[in-house]
Structure 1
Amino acid sequence: MRYRLTFITGLAIGYVLGTRAGRERYEQLRKCAQRFAQNPAVRNTAESAALTGREAATKAFDKVEDRLPNSFSTRIRSLRDHRGAAEDDWGTSNT
């Protein structure tokens, strides 16, 4: 019984210390990731990658549009029109 109690006590202490250190490390990593995401260079790169991806998708769609079912092409065109009407404000265009 004594060994069981010692083991459970050690387990509890290890859990408390581990979660405390784990939470501090988690907060440290979260703050680092937040600073990284708010970096203007990172935001510019992400924005240009998104624009390049959109352009590539548009070119690919234009090449295969006549081979797709009409309902599919119509849906893509409506999504394209909807996206073009409201520009997103993500990226560094507002900074």
Structure 2
Amino acid sequence: MGFLLGAGVGYVLGSKAGRARYDQIMRTYRRIADHPAVQGAAGIARAKIGEKVGEKVRRR
């Protein structure tokens, strides 16, 4: 989901600023998204969301 949001924002900003700016935005986004600290935080967030979803499913 975050990737799609980042790609969408990058596309809109890039299309207004030109292809070179779009490429720059996407390189920056990918560098941030691929950073180990960001990957770790995303994994923790996914686990927490999975726990919450699991709780709701069990309650039904």
What is the TM-score with the length of structure 2 in the denominator? 0.67
Unmatched segments (≥5 aa) in structure 2: 1-14
C-alpha RMSD of matched pairs (Å): 1.6
Residue 25 of structure 1 pairs with residue 30 of structure 2: no
Consecutive unaligned residues in structure 1, runs of 5 or more: 1-18, 65-95
Which structure: larger Rg?
1
Identical pairs, percent:
31
Q: CA deviation at 1:33?
A: 0.5
| Larger relative contact order (Cα-Cα within 8 Å, sequence gap ≥ 6) | 1
More helix by share: 2
